[in-house]
Amino acid sequence: MKEKRNKILKKQSGEKDMFGFQATNYRIFGLALLVLILGYVALAQPPVNGFMTLTLAPLLLIVGYCVLVPWALFWKPRQQKSE
Residue 61's Cβ-side half-sphere holds a number of Cα atoms within 13 Å equal to 13
Eight-state DSSP code of residue 48: T
- CA 67 to chain CA centroid, Å, is 9
pLDDT beneath 70, residues of the chain? 1-2, 4-18, 83
> pTM for the full model?
0.72
Per-residue pLDDT, 14: 47
